Every structure is written in C-alpha cells, then in structure tokens.
Chain A
Amino acid sequence: MPPPDRRGGFVRSLFEGRIESEAVLPFPLPDAETLETIAAVEEMVREWADGAIDPAAIDRDKTFPPEVLEGLSELGLYGLTIPEAHGGAGMGAWSYAKVMETLAHRCASTATILGAHLGIGLKGLLLDGTPEQKERWLPRLASGELIAAFALTEAEAGSDAAALRTRAEALPDGSWKLNGTKIWITNGGIANCFTVFARTPDPERPDAPLLERPISAFFVEKDAGGITIGKPEDKMGLCGSSTTEVAFEDTIVASQAMLGERGQGFKLALRILNGGRHGLAACCVGQAKLSRSGAVVHARERVQYGRSIGEFGMVQEMLAAMDADIYAMEAGTWLTAAMMERGEHETMLEAACTKMYATEKLWSVANDALQVTGGTGFMREYPYERILRDARINMIFEGTNQVLRMMLGSQGLRALVRGEARPPDGEESLQGVHEAFAAEREVFDALVASFAERCRRTVERHGKEVREAQFALHRLSDMAMCLWQIAAVLSRVSAAETGGQASDRERDVARLSCRRLEREFRIALMDEERPLDEWVARVGGPTP
C-alpha cells in the first residue's frame, strides 16, 4: 500500500514541463542483500522452469499440466508477495517482476497463471483486507491450496468496467447474495477463490437504478455455492492458461467477505490493476528476450548468398532494434518496480507507460524475430509463432493500450485543466545523468519543453473537453510514454556507468534506444503540429 505522503509522479510533472529528477535518478536499486536473494530466486525459478515446463506441449494440448501447478506450489511461488507473517515470502514489486520475467521467458501461460493469482487475484486482500481476512485466506493462498482469480469483466463491462451489473443484495443476517456473470476470467477453471466486484445498494438511495449503485468488492470461495464455471474459452494464445465465464447465482457470502469499504470497490479494482501492470511488462521482457535469442542464433547460422544472414544490413536493423527496445523495456519495468518498492513516488502513470511500451515492443520484437527466422519461424515446430499469439493479448488485457492512453493523457493534463499546474521556474533538466550521456540528456530536456508546450496548447484549445479529444490524447500520451522510457534508459545506463559495469556495447544499445524513442516522440509531435484529425474523423468515423 502506498504511503500517504507520496510526492507527485515523474510522468505527471512532465505534462507541466517539470522534471522531477530525484524520482528516477539515481536508479533506485534495492539493497545488495535483496538483490542477492532475488538472484537466487530467479535462478531457482529458471532451473525449475527449464526442466519442468514444456511450453510447446502446453500450447498444443491447450491444457495445463497439474504437475506444473504443483511445482509452483512446492517452490513457494504462490506466496511470493504475501507477507512472511501470513506464510508467504514477503517479497516486493522488484522480485515479483523478476519472477514473472523468468517464468515468461520459459512459458507465457505459466506466468499468466501466477500473475492472475498474485498480481490481481489476491491483491485486493493485500491492499484492503482486514487482519482477520488476511489471517483467514492468505496462508492458504501462499501455499497454493487456494488459487485466486480476479472477477471484474462482464459482457457489457469490458474497458468500461464501471458498467458492471453483477449485484449483491444485503440479507437480514448481514450476509450478501451475489447474482451476475463474469466473463474472460483468467484462472477461471483452476481458481477456488475470486475477488468479485458487484453493485451494492446505496443506503442513501435505496431505489437507485442498478447502474447508479456503488460497487463493492468481495472475496468469495468457490465452495460458497451457486458458482458455475463455464467451458474453457478457445483462444488465440496463452492456450495453457484457463479463461472461463464465472457465473454467480444466489451465491451467499458472509459480511466478512467484503473487501475494503462498502461502495469503494471500483477504486480498489483500479488500485489493483495499477499495481499489477509492471508484472505484465516484466512478462513481455521475458518473452522478448526469448524471441531475440533465437533470432540472433538463426541470423548467425543461416547462410544465404554464401553469407550468414546476420551480415545483411536489413537483418542487422531488426536485431539492433530488438536489443535497443528490450533495453528500454527492461529499464522502464525495473524502474517502475523499484519505485513501487520504495513507495516514495506515485507510479500509476509510470506503470501505464511501461505496460503500453513493453506490450507494443514485445509485439514488434516477436514479429521481427519471426521475420529474421523466415520460413522456419512460421513453422509451429519453433516458438516464434506461439510467442506472437501469446503476445497479442497483452495489448488488450489489464487495460487496453487505448484505455491506458486515455487515462495517461487525461490524468496528466488534469492539473492544467484545473488551472493548478505548477510550471517550472526556469529551464528544467534531468539531473544525475552520467556525463557520457550528456547529449542524450540535452535532447530529453528539449523534448520535455516541447511536450509541455503542446500540452498547454491542447488544454487551451479543448479546455475541460480535452478528455474527449482522443486524437490529441493519443499523441500526447505517446510523447509522455517516450519521455518516460528515455528517462528510464538514461537512469539505467547512468547506474551502469557509475557502478563501472557499462560496456561499450551497453552504451551503444542505450544510445540507439534513446534515438529510437526520440524518433517515436517526433512522429507524434509532427502529427500534433500538423494534425490529420479532420480527415481521420471523416474517413474513420461512423458511416451514415
């Protein structure tokens, strides 16, 4: 849970033209002992996963082997982030991200199962559970006796999750009766407990229509009765992870099953989702590294025209882009995780940027890996097509990247809209970047200034209606994402320079990474300066 005295976020301040360097520089690495422990955990997970998980078989058979679930339990991974007092390992955001990356490097379905359990399924208990609720459920969740799922989405409530219709009626003895159907629930088929969001009556407006009633959260065990699990969905990817409908019909739960305050359930849902996105980004890092490593070997070994194809410039472009983008994905993910672990600064917008960037770059890395491997990559015998199928959902779940852009843009502009912005006193600069990257820092500083200028003009033009100005929000959020990623790269490479670990190769990769991000920023800036909005609205708008 974030401490109450957190300072404003790094990304949020960029919208006003301020650069809150101390949030990101120096890179807020965990202490040496924690890093050592995490390295041991990573090694344990990697060794186990390499031997125990057959990702191709899981994908082909579309079922998840029970022995792998047992393995997760034997290793204690179900309790990774659960406090030691409740039977877990008490590890933080950084460790969680490292474990997710390591698992995803082997098998995205396996990582998804653990992510749905830890990242969202039981997170509500960690955030808002009472001591009694924690004592009752966390030890069993840590051991894997209970596997959790997060039940928010409904047929009419996807991105617009606040439109949910599941209802909870209060019974005279204080217990609750749940009715409604959740869809696309990750872990649906294997979970035996659910964090469920439902509408509860408003005591002040008992006759309010359903959709105007407040939302509350409940922690419901499967044996509560009246719960029906649908058939496994037939999906494009993540075929080993169970996705089902979960229907509640007159399911009775005790008053003690309510998580957090009555009527505060939707806020809890958003806090859970905001706190879990870095884990998804970490999965993308793992899958991207898997794609890259195969493509690099293929480029070295595949001979055409009498040369290894890695000697051709167009292949080198793809391989270099992979390295540069993976470097930035890692930087953003670890920086977000480290900031969450410290808890000194807001990380909601940072996590959104990190999720958007990592999910989109995984898609391009996996796509390029398939291109480099050519016909071989197209064959199911190799992992490339599976990685692409598994990667596609990342841009959709845990907040579609469009919804996150809306959130990022409108949240970032909020202070400007309200007239509460605190523009910088003078020239702002990212402090603490290693001198070897002074040129990149100067570029960053200049980009922030032009970004803030575009933000100011956008708010001048649209005022409060800026939330509806999606074309502009898209461009501004793209720019904010690029700035966040450049800052993360500069923070990461500065830490490597200061620690004496930076190699010439790392410097090259980091520079390339900054340049690619700058280019993406400038594309969005060009569109902002010469918008195509009218044409886009005419061509893409609803046809009469």
Chain B
Amino acid sequence: MKIIACIKRVPTTDLEPKIVDGKSLDPTGVAFETSFYDQIAVEAALQVKEQHGGEVTVLTIGPKEAQKELRDALAKGADHAVLLKDDRWMSRDAHSTARTLQQKIQELGADLVLTGRVATDRDNASVGVMLATLLDFACVSDVVELEIDGRGGKARREADSGLESYSFSLPAVITCQKDLNEPRRAGLKGIMAAKKKPLDESDCPESSNQAEVCQLDTPPPRPQGRIVGEGAAAVEALIDALHNEAKVL
C-alpha cells in the first residue's frame, strides 16, 4: 500500500507572535515543529504500514529547514520524504497548498493520504478536504478511529453532536483528529537510520493564491485580573463583580 502523510512545519504553539508589515509573522527567533495533528497523521500512516505493509512517504511544502520535520518523520519510521521548497509557505492559501499537494501526490501515486485535521498555525482546516476533492478521492475528516482493510476502510469521525461511522473505499484522504492515536517518539536508532533514508527536494511549482491575507492582528491583551478580597467575606463582592461588571452571571 502506498501511503502518503502530508505535514506542515508550523511555529511552536507557545509562540508569542510578532507581526511585521501588518500581515506577516516575524520569523526571527521563532521555533518550528510539525503541526500537532500532522504528527498524528504520520503515526496513523506508520500504523497502517505496520498492519498492511507498504511504504510511507512524508510530504511537505516548506523552506529548506523543513528537512528537520521530514527527518523527524523518517526517524519515526517513514520510508521516504519529499520536500517541495517554498520559502513563502506560510503565506500560501489552502487552495494553492492543496493544488500543489495534489499534483505531487498524483505523480507519486497513493492509496491512502493522511493529514492533520487542521494546521496549528492558520487554523483553516481546509487543505485535507480540498485535496480529496482535487484528487477525486474518498474523504473522511476529523477521524478518531481508523481501520484499513485491503480495499477500503472504516472510520469514525467526531461530529458536533456525536460520532459518525463511515466505511470508505480506497484511494482516500483521511484527516486526523487528536484522539486517533498517540504519536510515537523517534529513538536514537531511528534518528541515525533517518540520515540514510531518501529525502527528495525540488522547487515548488508556481501557484497563485486565491485568497490573500490583508492584515494580521494579535488578539487584544487580556485585562489584568483583580483580587476583590479574601476568604468568605469576599464572596459578596465577587458575585457583585461577576454580575454587574463582567456580566457573566
């Protein structure tokens, strides 16, 4: 089975963002990692490979430095990595990302494509489902349970009001939700082995955005808390403040 896990290099979630030119993130001093849900996609890909055999390719669009995230996936057990180099990967819109991935996936060939339900930087939750549409693959999003048999699979997805169970045919795109699995850790041997695994780099084909970010704002700073008093005597003042000031009661 040919399995492709699509991942994204994103700023770590403890980042205190600084904005430059009104619409971009200042990259100085920013640490990057594989988006949380994409790590789950990599783990799901490795588990499917372990159960059914085959090969896992991990694919990303990003700068040369995204080799780090690809090597991490290789260290965990992926067989092959593909980097489509684009220094402006963070400002791509979902459609242009999905279109580029689609072209590469068609070139590589895939039975199963796994990706995170959302990237933790832009929070669009769009690329996976767009990719399925462009590829004309079956799609189940926000998956929390996944079972593959040779020609199709079963998945449960988290919907607003409960769990939905699906059966689907391959090829398919699955977007992974957090309860699907617990990503494994790469060990020392994996890291050493990853150095010898193939990592293909090529320039990302040109692709224009359909949606552009015009302005970026950080959330307004949270007002400082106020201690209204101590012990039981403070209860009345607290209720009063919650009622009349914060208007939450």
A associates with B? yes
Q: Which residues of A contact B (CB under 8 A)?
A: 33, 36-37, 39-41, 44, 47-48, 74-77, 79-80, 84, 89-90
Offer 7 A-B interface pairs, CB within 8 angstroms, sorted by A: A44-B186, A44-B187, A48-B185, A79-B188, A89-B188, A89-B189, A90-B192
Which 5 interchain pairs have the tightest Cβ spacing?
Answer: A76-B188, A76-B187, A89-B188, A75-B187, A76-B189
The distance in angstroms between the C-alpha atoms of A44 and B72, with both chains bound, is 9
The distance in angstroms between the C-alpha atoms of A513 and B212, with both chains bound, is 48
The distance in angstroms between the C-alpha atoms of A74 and B68, with both chains bound, is 22
Main secondary structure of the interface of B (DSSP, over half): helix
**Interchain CB contact under 8 A, A40 and B75:** yes
The distance in angstroms between the C-alpha atoms of A97 and B45, with both chains bound, is 34
Neighbouring B residues of A41 by C-beta, 8 Å: 188, 191
Neighbouring A residues of B9 by C-beta, 8 Å: none
Interchain pairs with CB closer than 8 A, number:
42
**Identity of the chain B residue whose Cβ is nearest the Cβ of A95 in the assembled complex:** B188
The distance in angstroms between the C-alpha atoms of A84 and B195, with both chains bound, is 14
**Identity of the chain A residue whose Cβ is nearest the Cβ of B185 in the assembled complex:** A48
**Interchain CB contact under 8 A, A40 and B72:** yes
Instruction: Give B184-231 interface residues, CB cut-off 8 Å to A.
Output: 185-189, 191-192, 194-195
Neighbouring A residues of B189 by C-beta, 8 Å: 76, 89
Instruction: Give B169-192 interface residues, CB cut-off 8 Å to A.
Output: 185-189, 191-192
**Identity of the chain B residue whose Cβ is nearest the Cβ of A38 in the assembled complex:** B191
Q: Which residues of B contact A (CB under 8 A)?
A: 67-68, 71-72, 75, 185-189, 191-192, 194-195
The distance in angstroms between the C-alpha atoms of A195 and B185, with both chains bound, is 32
Q: A496 CB to closest chain B CB, in angstroms?
A: 16
The distance in angstroms between the C-alpha atoms of A80 and B189, with both chains bound, is 9
Neighbouring B residues of A79 by C-beta, 8 Å: 188
**Interchain CB contact under 8 A, A80 and B188:** yes
Q: A118 CB to closest chain B CB, in angstroms?
A: 12
The distance in angstroms between the C-alpha atoms of A41 and B189, with both chains bound, is 10
The distance in angstroms between the C-alpha atoms of A48 and B190, with both chains bound, is 15
Neighbouring B residues of A40 by C-beta, 8 Å: 68, 71-72, 75, 186, 191, 194
**Interchain CB contact under 8 A, B185 and A37:** no
| Most central of A37, A39, A74, A79 by chain B CB within 10 Å | A37
**Identity of the chain A residue whose Cβ is nearest the Cβ of B186 in the assembled complex:** A44
The distance in angstroms between the C-alpha atoms of A44 and B186, with both chains bound, is 7
**Interchain CB contact under 8 A, B72 and A47:** no
**Identity of the chain B residue whose Cβ is nearest the Cβ of A90 in the assembled complex:** B192
**Interchain CB contact under 8 A, B185 and A44:** yes
**Identity of the chain B residue whose Cβ is nearest the Cβ of A39 in the assembled complex:** B68
**Interchain CB contact under 8 A, A75 and B185:** yes
Q: Which of B67, B75, B187 contacts A74 (CB 8 A)?
A: B187
Neighbouring A residues of B71 by C-beta, 8 Å: 36, 40
Q: B211 CB to closest chain A CB, in angstroms?
A: 34
